[in-house]
Amino acid sequence: MKVSSYVAGHWHQASDDGVQVFNAINGDLVGCVSTTGIDFQAVLNHGRLVGGPVLRKMTFHERGNMLKNLAKYLLERKAEFYRVSAFTGATKLDSWIDIEGGVQTLFTYSGLVRREFANETFALEGKSEPLSKNGSFVGRHLLVPKEGVAVHINAFNFPCWGMLEKIAPSLAAGMPVVVKPATASGYLTEVMVKTMIESGLLPEGALQLISGSVGNLLDLLDEQDVVTFTGSASTGQHLRSHPNIIAKSIPFTMEADSLNYSILGEAAVPGTAEFDLFIKGVVTEMTVKAGQKCTAIRRALVPASQMDAVGDALTARLAKITLGDPALDGVRMGPLVGRDQLADVWSQVHTLMQSAGVVCGGREDFALHSGDRDKGAFFPATVLRCDEPFKTDLPHQVEAFGPVTTMMPYADLDEAIALAKLGGGSLVGSIVTADSQEATKMVLGTACWHGRLLVLNDECAQESTGHGSPLPTLVHGGPGRAGGGEELGGIRAVKHYMQRTAVQGSPTMLTDITKEFHPGAKQVKTDVHPFRKYFEDLQIGETLITHRRTVTEADIVNFGCLSGDHFYAHFDEQAAKDSLFGKRVAHGYFVISAAAGMFVEPSPGPVLANYGLENLRFIEPVGIGDTIQVRLTCKQKIYKDKRPDDFAPTGVVEWDVEVYNQHNETVALYSIMTLVERRQD
């Protein structure tokens, strides 16, 4: 078998002299990997000139639907992915995390971009910023897709999830991708990419695959390209310092393996739920993917008085973990990805043993349930114990990327925090305690050194996703040794592949450019009430000025009786006079209720429902005898896809609402969203 690349619109087979990759269980040859003969300039041109223009013409909602349909397509064909995943030594659980966890990222980003962004090819960020005294000059931040390619260089441990977590925000942003998986397990990535290409759901040029070396690709990148890397810190630092990347300021996001910690709180003594959760968490992170996770727990920080108890508990639980061929019943942990990785882990463990003793594992005569000991890549779950962690750098600098963790004692919380920091920056730390004061001190003491912190106790354990599970909506990354970058993080990740530009001009000009109303822009007035218009017929800036209404004492009394709000400022003449208001005032919610009565068109029409209210601010009090009026302006229109069970095809219209008094002073500002019927689907 030859592991192929998909470049410039066709499949390119590896040459016969490529790098050989083997089955992690029995050592059988899986195939050879090579990029000999690939024109990497043609690869970049294909993404920039073929895939990029098509993606950039699509709206966020169209890209989101593309991701959703792709995710469904992959799930329908997941059986083949599971079959090939077994060659990497993955158990069924390992494969589920990699395959279905990765596909879930596509679903997540599909929903995020359709919910958070307007149905446009660009995005707006923040509010309109006034830049002049009279309001004729304003600014706004605009985001557009970069016009290059996103090159994703992935690690061997998650050949599916590692790819999908990166391409989801890239494609959602409108940027084509070039995926370069690690050679050792890239054959699984190839199988999934073949399925994605066969689906026809992605525009040509949106996705390319490089199986093997990237050749001179990094030399050919330009200022509009982006590079992301997941893997070892040393490799990432080498790539990040590439002369072309530095010279052209090409964004480089690095997510590196790190010496993540888990702290057992002082209150979590044996017999408590938290003690058991700590033991379970450490063992899980040691054995899932055979410890080959960038988020795995490498350092277990334990109160000095509990070291023996923790060591015994870990040994007992690990004794139940059966090592062997994951295809067979009863096997709980599979091999490492290959023999090269096996040799590397043994080397790192022997280095760690210079400052640590062995609690369990760490011997080459380990029990093996099934699989080939000599040709496979099996490694025993190993717990080390370093009793003087402040006198050696080894456990804080050396990582054995397998089922290995090192226990270290701490005397008090200050020492625990100091030990956590010695890792030099990590992707994730976990704190297992039921004591909130203890947790607070450790969170605030270690947060600046970690990208994510899990505070685990019995209350959240049942639904917790665990120490080692990055989530699409939260940041995945970390400072220092962890790479200093951020992946995922919800919409933050999408914006990484877009250029943020401050656009300045008149309110009317920016309204026309951004398709969102800016205060001070020219307003459109028609003879037809805007609530009588279908979604397509409404214009941005279309404005309704309502009739006036004078607020009476009866209004305040009636609203108070109806709402039950008898706050003194509304009913106590003397107390109100002595207050900051200086007089009795109307309820703020009466003001916006009255405003609704002034701008709503009551008869049935295209406006189907109020969709929500945002950013409400009460600016000035409204007293008895004050006269209010409302300015309602169409601020933004968001097209919605019609679902099968929807009443009608619709869109969401955001209205800018300003309530002002007889002195033309603004008394209330807010936005409302209405669900408005479209004429056609």
The answer on 516 and 435 residing in a single domain is no
300 occurs within a structural domain: yes
Assigned domain for 417 exists: yes
Of the three residues 224, 257, 290, the one that is the final residue of a domain is 257
Same domain, 364 and 343: yes
Within-domain flag for 350 = yes
> Is position 555 within any domain?
yes
How is residue 291 annotated by DSSP?
Answer: G
Q: What's the pLDDT at 226? A: 95
> Which residues constitute the domain of residue 432?
260-482
Do 305 and 343 belong together in one domain?
Answer: yes
pLDDT, one tens digit per residue, over 585-631 is: 999 999 999 999 999 988 888 998 888 898 999 999 999 999 999 99
The single-letter code of the amino acid at 235 is: T
Sign of CA dihedral 527, 528, 531, 533: negative
**Per-residue model confidence (pLDDT) at position 45:** 95
Enumerate the H helices of 219-326 as residue ranges: 233-240, 243-247, 273-287, 307-318
Domain boundary among 449, 482, 515: 482
What's residue 605's pLDDT?
A: 83
Do residues 336 and 399 both lie within one domain?
yes
Tally DSSP H helices, then E strands, for the chain. Answer: 21, 28
Per residue in 144-177, pLDDT (tens digit) is 999 999 999 998 888 999 999 999 999 999 999 9
Q: What is residue 520's predicted lDDT score, i.e. its pLDDT?
A: 85
The whole-chain average pLDDT of the chain stands at 91
Quick one: 422 and 530 in the same domain? no
- Number of compact structural domains in the chain: 3
**Domain-embedded: residue 282:** yes
Q: Do both 473 and 342 map to the same domain? A: yes
pLDDT above 90 covers a percentage of the chain that reads 65
CATH number, domain containing residue 384: 3.40.309.10
Confidence at residue 681, expressed as pLDDT on a 0 to 100 scale: 56
Per-residue model confidence as pLDDT tens digits over 436-468 = 999 999 999 999 999 899 999 998 988 888 888
Model pTM?
0.87
**Model confidence pLDDT, tens digit, residues 106-147:** 999 999 998 888 889 999 998 889 999 888 999 999 999 999
**Same domain assignment for residues 290 and 384:** yes
Contacts of the segment 531-534: beta carbons below 8 A, 24+ positions apart: 531/600, 531/601, 531/605, 531/606, 531/607, 531/674, 532/601, 532/605, 532/606, 533/606, 534/606, 534/676, 534/677, 534/678, 534/679
Q: Residue 131 falls within a domain, yes or no?
A: no
CATH number, domain containing residue 99: 3.40.605.10
Q: Is residue 472 domain-shared with residue 557, that is, in the same domain?
A: no
Judge if 247 and 281 occupy the same domain: no
How long, in residues, is the chain? 681
434, 527: one domain: no
Q: Is the pLDDT of residue 235 over 90?
A: no
Does 251 share its domain with 307?
no
Q: What is the pLDDT of residue 256?
A: 82
Q: What amino acid positions are annotated as catalytic residues?
A: 255, 294
Does some domain include residue 561? yes
CATH of the domain at 592: 3.10.129.10
Per residue in 519-542, pLDDT (tens digit) is 888 888 888 899 999 888 988 989
Residue 140 resides in a domain: no
**Same domain? 472 vs 607:** no
Q: Which of 213, 233, 257 is the last residue of a domain?
A: 257
- The pLDDT-based confidence of 642 (bands split at 50, 70, 90) is confident
